[in-house]
Amino acid sequence: MNHDLHFTMVAKTLYGLEDVLAAELTALGAEEVTIGRRMVSFRGDKRMLYLANLRLRTALRVLKPVVTFRAKTADEIYERLRAFDWTTVMSVDQTFSIDSVVYSDTFKNSQYISYRTKDALVDYFREHTDKRPSVRLSNPDILLNIHVSHDEVTLSLDSSGESLHKRGYRVAETVAPLNEVLAAGILLKAGWDGSTDLIDPMCGSG
């Protein structure tokens, strides 16, 4: 495994936590840390990709962009993605799922963008292998993210699987649990470093 190859990644977060996420990434040793809207982009190698998933407290997920282009219609997104070499990210025998995020006046329906992305992927493999990969919503082999900002479209591999606030330790949730990413972000914003006691008046039922 070559850890020396550096590439761009994107850590997604909640609105207002971009600055503390950027500070976390800088402390991890990430390069070219740049704050965006509900996300922070950075560069690093595969080791940094693993570290980000393991150590970041204010990230929801870590994405690895694979292709970016501009499009004005859903059909144009389909055509661009059908021309993309999907064998660079998955094989026809792997299952997949697509998550979409849309910030655009042109594109209103994120589910439709996911649907057209799925069509492009499936049609590519049908054309090149006479087989089609299967969608699996729960625990797919490959989780893809399609992000549309105005007319800029980015297809990414989701390296995190489920949202990172679900770290696997919680076996049951209350009616209104506090998202762990938000909780960590509040503590980091407050500057609490663990050297003093912490009193939480809203713990439990408040």
**One domain for residues 139 and 97:** yes
The answer to whether residue 5 is domain-embedded is yes
Q: How far is CA 39 from CA 17, 44, 80, 125, 161, in A?
A: 9, 16, 25, 32, 17
The answer to whether residue 6 is domain-embedded is yes
**One domain for residues 53 and 95:** no
**One domain for residues 19 and 76:** no
**One domain for residues 37 and 82:** no
CA 174 to CA 107: how far, in whole Å?
Answer: 35
Q: What is the mean pLDDT of each run of 10 residues along the chain (206 residues)?
A: 76 92 95 92 94 92 93 93 94 92 82 93 95 89 91 90 55 62 82 83 66
Give the global pTM: 0.77
**One domain for residues 24 and 39:** yes
The answer to whether residue 201 is domain-embedded is no
The answer to whether residue 53 is domain-embedded is yes
**One domain for residues 75 and 104:** yes
DSSP notation for the chain: ------EEEEEE--TT-HHHHHHHHHHHT-EEEEE-SSEEEEEE-HHHHHHHHHH-SS-SEEEEEEEEEE-SSHHHHHHHHHSS-GGGT--TTS-EEEEEEEE-SS---HHHHHHHHHHHHHHHHHHHHS----B-SSS-SEEEEEEEETTEEEEEEESSSS-TT--S--S---SSPPPHHHHHHHHHHHT--SSS----TTSTT-
The answer to whether residue 52 is domain-embedded is yes
Q: What's residue 20's pLDDT?
A: 93
The answer to whether residue 12 is domain-embedded is yes
Domains of the chain: total: 2
N-term to C-term CA, the chain: 49
Range of the domain at 39: 1-60+179-193
CA 54 to CA 122: how far, in whole Å?
Answer: 32
Whichever domain contains 38, its CATH number is 3.30.2130.30
Q: What's residue 170's pLDDT?
A: 54
**One domain for residues 83 and 30:** no
Q: What's residue 177's pLDDT?
A: 64
**One domain for residues 50 and 93:** no
**One domain for residues 81 and 24:** no
**One domain for residues 55 and 70:** no
Taking alpha carbons only, the member of 132, 141, 163, 140 closest to residue 63 is 163
The answer to whether residue 169 is domain-embedded is no
Contact between 57 and 188 (Cβ < 8 Å): yes
**One domain for residues 89 and 143:** yes
CA 185 to CA 20: how far, in whole Å?
Answer: 7
Contact between 114 and 99 (Cβ < 8 Å): yes
**One domain for residues 49 and 78:** no
The answer to whether residue 173 is domain-embedded is no
